[in-house]
Amino acid sequence: MIKTLKGEIGWHQGYPAGQRIARGGGNEYSPNFLDDNRNQSYPGLEAFEDALALDDMVWYKNIDSQGTGDDDINEIIEHTLHTIHRFGVRGGVEGSTEALNIEAEEEDITNTDIFLAMKEAYTNGVFDIEGYGGDINNRDAWPVMLKEYQYLLTFGMWEFSEFWEGGSLSPEWNDNARTPSGIQANNPLGYELYNTYFKPVISIPSKEILREIFKDDDQGESGYIVD
């Protein structure tokens, strides 16, 4: 998986994966570094983006942040997982390049393991797609649906739903799938997918360590002193 992420081998060979991180939202930067003219405002940014395999942005302390450590944990892990799932887990074990293909704009993915697992979750009422247009047949929305599905599946298998506000994302992710046993019962293809392709290459972070790192109301300096 690490070699795939680094672009040394695999389906995006030559383009190492990168992770963009911003504090706050794009509009908190002047000018907004997401605008079309960003290369004029931030020389080298587009060249940087062109050289790397990039997915989501980690919006640390976004404008809608709850100001809690759990919210920080959820934000960072969710969007880092988007990158790791797409550019590392896919390619991490034998068969995963085909099974976890979400590049719907490039080829037919309707028979991939990941698509079939996501569709089962949708059909069984585990995964709600209203936030992604509500049409399971909308090919343009599949990459986003599949990206979110992988993150939600992982959080359920890790039993990390406690980091969500109120401990639930229902109806986007059904409360009956917040544990491995719940996923096995209600989304068996997802359960098999996780154990076959995700579990061998991603370890579960320690909740205790995460909560030690990220505290509530940590608005000021951390107090960290370099060696």
Q: How many CA atoms lie within 13 A of 121 on its CB side?
A: 34
- pLDDT value of residue 85: 98
- pLDDT value of residue 227: 62
The pair of structure tokens assigned to 117 is: 């697992």
Lowest mean pLDDT across 21-30, 86-95, 195-204? 21-30
Lowest mean pLDDT across 22-36, 77-91, 168-182? 22-36
The conformation of residue 196, written as its DSSP 8-state character, comes to I
Average pLDDT over every residue of 38-47: 88
pTM assigned to the model = 0.92
Cα torsion angle, 156, 201, 204, 53, sign:
negative
Average pLDDT over every residue of 152-179: 97
- pLDDT value of residue 147: 97
pLDDT band at 216 (very low <50, low <70, confident <90, very high): confident
The pLDDT tens digits for 103-139 are 999 999 999 999 999 999 999 999 999 999 999 999 9
Cis peptide before 180 (omega within 30 of 0): no
CA 90 to chain centre: 13
- pLDDT value of residue 35: 87
